[in-house]
Every structure is written in C-alpha cells, then in structure tokens.
C-alpha cells in the first residue's frame, strides 16, 4: 500500500542531505507541497529544485534551529506560501563527542543541547501553533536509539535525545484532542555521509558501532526515511506518542 501525501503541506527541517533529503524528495513524488529547510541554503535550494524538476511543488528556506526567530520565520513562511502546515518533519541533531561525560567540554554540551533539544522544541512549538489553527497535523521528530537506551561514551548526547523522546510523548498527549499526532524515529548507527567518509579512511572504524547491533550492519538512510514517511502518513493515523526504533534490534536487548 502506497502512502499518499497528495495536496498536503510538509515542512522538512534538515532536508539538505541524508534521510531528510530522501524524505523531502519522496513527499514531492507523492504530491505534497514541500517546504525544504536546512541551515545550508544551497543544499535546501538544490533539494527543492530536484523536487520541482521531478514535477513536484517545493520552496526552500534557510534556517538555523538554534535561532528561535528563524524557526518561527520558517513556519510563518510555510503558512504564508501554502496556507497551512499538515506535516512537520524535524531532522534535528548533532553529536560532538564519543567519550564519557567527564571529557565533554561545557561548550560541546551546550551545543548538543541547543541543537538537539532546544532546536527541536522550537520546531515543535511553531509547528503545533500552526497545526492547532488548522485543526490537524502530524509531526515526526528525529530521535535516536540513544533516546531509548543508554550508550557507552555518549552520555551527553543521550541526555538530549532522551529529552526528544520525552517531548514527543508528552506533546502527543497534550495535542491528541487537537487531532495532531506526534511521533519520533529512533535510528541506530546509520550509514551517513560522515560514516562513509570515516570508513574510507579506516575500514575498521565501524567495529565500535556495530558491536551492539544484532543485525551486524548499519541502518541505511533510506530505511530511516521510510519510517518518517510512514509515521507522517495517514497509514499511521492511529499512531501517536511512539518512539519507533530503526536500529537493527539494538533496543530489543
């Protein structure tokens, strides 16, 4: 069964690359009107142009989620351009350190908090305000397997990603009566562009990440995008407040 986004307005934050770009392109193929947002203006424009080249409808917007005014301006732009927001995809996050918390600098801790937690809060806040006026909506946030289980040498990152799952679940309860569904996708170790570059330098670099993955492989960006697309779609109309692992079985342990 094919999900359909026909005539829906989707804001995809973090659509400049990776699973965000894949998600935005698929929304365009399915007939959505897509607002492609990314901190990198050129990458956002490139994604929007590809959607239009394939016959879709898209605009781009440069947005740094650390800046509340920019996030508000993004959501206002979406409403001004297309009249409403039906779907909010928030692919927000960074991990600066792979070490225990005693070795994470205060600056890096603050950066992870500002992007992963506060940036997510800004996105959700202004999407929800727009969706309440429309009387419906679906939000899908980027969590992590680190939203569900503790991980060695990722304590600061886990703290912010546990917060994403908490905000997702709490907001799902608060806005269920407004016909707004809120879920998050929780990937395990993913074959990102950064991981590909690391593996080119050191073929054994992956070993430390795959030791706890039952399937023994990285999650592909397309697999993560598939989860975003499903949870955003009407096929998931009965699902809210879920933190969905896409992790090769890590959270099952």
Pairing between strand 87-90 and 9-13?
parallel
Reduce the DSSP state of residue 184 to 3 states and report it: strand
Alpha-carbon gap, residue 91 to 140, rounded angstroms: 8
Which class for 177: exposed (0-12), middle (13-18), buried (19 or more C-beta within 10 A)? exposed
Alpha-carbon gap, residue 119 to 167, rounded angstroms: 12
Which of the residues are catalytic? 157
Do residues 150 and 209 touch, judged by C-beta distance below 8 A?
no
Do residues 219 and 189 touch, judged by C-beta distance below 8 A?
yes
Residue 61, beta-bridge partner list: 37
Of how many residues is the chain composed?
A: 253
Reduce the DSSP state of residue 137 to 3 states and report it: strand
Buried b or exposed e, range 99-131, using 16+ CB within 10 angstroms: eeeeebeeebbebbebbbbbbbbbbbbbbbebb
Pairing between strand 57-62 and 33-38?
parallel
């Amino acid at each position: 069964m094919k999900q359909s986004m026909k005539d829906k307005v989707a804001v995809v934050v973090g659509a400049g690359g990776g699973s965000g770009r894949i998600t935005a392109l698929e929304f365009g193929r399915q007939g959505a009107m897509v607002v492609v947002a990314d901190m990198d203006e050129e990458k956002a424009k490139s994604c929007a142009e590809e959607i239009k080249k394939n016959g879709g409808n898209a605009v781009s917007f440069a947005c740094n989620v650390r800046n509340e005014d920019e996030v508000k301006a993004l959501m206002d732009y979406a409403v001004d351009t297309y009249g409403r927001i039906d779907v909010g995809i928030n692919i927000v996050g960074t991990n600066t350190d792979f070490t225990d918390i005693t070795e994470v600098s205060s600056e890096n801790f603050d950066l992870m908090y500002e992007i992963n937690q506060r940036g997510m809060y800004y996105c959700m806040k202004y999407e929800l305000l727009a969706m309440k006026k429309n009387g419906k909506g679906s939000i899908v946030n980027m969590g992590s397997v680190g939203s569900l289980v503790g991980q060695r040498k990722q304590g600061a990152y886990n703290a912010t990603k546990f917060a994403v799952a908490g905000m997702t679940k709490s907001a799902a309860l608060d806005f269920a009566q407004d016909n707004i569904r809120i879920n998050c996708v929780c990937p395990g170790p993913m074959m990102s562009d950064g991981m590909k570059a690391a593996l080119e330098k050191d073929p054994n670099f992956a070993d430390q990440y795959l030791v706890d993955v039952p399937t023994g492989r990285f999650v592909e960006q397309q697999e993560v995008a598939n989860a975003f697309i499903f949870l955003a779609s009407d096929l998931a109309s009965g699902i809210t407040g879920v933190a969905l692992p896409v992790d090769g079985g890590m959270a099952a342990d």
